[in-house]
Structure 1
Amino acid sequence: MNAIILTKLLIDFGLVVLIWMVQIIIYPSFLHYTSEKLSVWHPLYTRKITSIVAPLMLAQLSISVYLMITQLTYSFYEIIDLLLIATNWLLTMLVFISLHEKIEHNSTDRDIQTKLVKYNWVRVVLFCSIFLFNFINILAI
């Protein structure tokens, strides 16, 4: 198996583990903080989690783009992979960053925190789909 493909699969799996932790533990925990404590914790959390998530997402995107560029023919899996990754990036940039900014500006609004948990299921599905598509692709090679 190609080392770059294996690396991508490991990154994909790491993001799956991370998104499930965020979905099951971290985001729901926001609802248990007092507004005062959340207003202190949330900015720290977003900086710390970004330092973990951003390099992984950048690596995931970079490897997928590299594989698309270096292939003479594009497989169904490569196209779906890149579309799912692009969708995830768009959702993160357009929806989730905005929700986190709203929490930072108004930590008392529990509706925003509830939306974060509810909407994040889409990213859970996306990250899991990316991993599964690539895992199936490796089995097909």
Structure 2
Amino acid sequence: MDDYIPLLRFASDIGMVVLIWLVQLIIYPSFFLIDAGKFTAWHARYTRRISVVVMPLMIAQAVSTAVLLTRNADPGLKLETVGLIAAWTVTFSLSVPCHKKLQQSGKNDDVIRRLIFTNWFRTAAWTLVLLSGLLTE
């Protein structure tokens, strides 16, 4: 099973990068297009459904990276770990609060703009994770 850990990490890295770029360029900007009267119900459905995709990828990434760190903490893997920590930090300190505010208060263009702006940090972090993984393999 251990032989599959690098493949699991690589697959989850690719999955997160594809997902975060779709979120950044298509999904979050489309929030502006949702009718305000339907936004809260739509957003609740969106967050439930996207979590089914995001959480397994994030967990697979974290677990596989942790396992690989116990084997060999080379500089590339350390850089990937920093990117992963940055992505998680931004997710839970900036993105999740924006989503909570949208869910509680309904559609708010300022919060949507903040979500899009701060998501660039996650996009950069997860892209760095993939690139550092590619460069060190």
* TM-score, normalising length: structure 2: 0.94
Superposed CA deviations along residues 84-103 of structure 1, whole A, max 9, x for unmatched, are 11111111111111000000
User: 3-state SS of the aligned residue for 1:126?
Assistant: helix
Question: 1:95, 1:77 → 2: CA distance?
Answer: 26
| Corresponding residue pairs, total | 135
Question: 1:4, 1:59 → 2: CA distance?
Answer: 9
Alignment of 1:38-117 (within 5 A): 38-71=39-72, 74-117=73-116
Which residue of structure 2 aligns with residue 26 of structure 1?
27
Structure 2 unaligned spans of 5+? none
1:130 deviates by: 0.3
* TM-score, normalising length: structure 1: 0.91
The amino acid of 1:42's aligned partner reads H
User: 3-state SS of the aligned residue for 2:55?
Assistant: helix
Question: 1:36, 1:117 → 2: CA distance?
Answer: 21
Which residue of structure 2 aligns with residue 123 of structure 1?
122
Instruction: Tell me if the contact between 2:29 and 2:116 (Cα under 8 Å) persists in the aligned partners.
Output: yes
Which residue of structure 2 aligns with residue 10 of structure 1?
11
Question: 1:37, 1:86 → 2: CA distance?
Answer: 34
Which residue of structure 2 aligns with residue 35 of structure 1?
36
1:108 deviates by: 3.3
1:57 deviates by: 0.4
The amino acid of 1:113's aligned partner reads I
Question: 1:132, 1:108 → 2: CA distance?
Answer: 35
Task: Provide runs of 4+ in structure 1 moved above 6 Å.
Answer: none
Structure 1 unaligned spans of 5+? none
1:119 deviates by: 1.1
User: 3-state SS of the aligned residue for 1:108?
Assistant: coil
- Name the Cα RMSD after superposition: 1.1
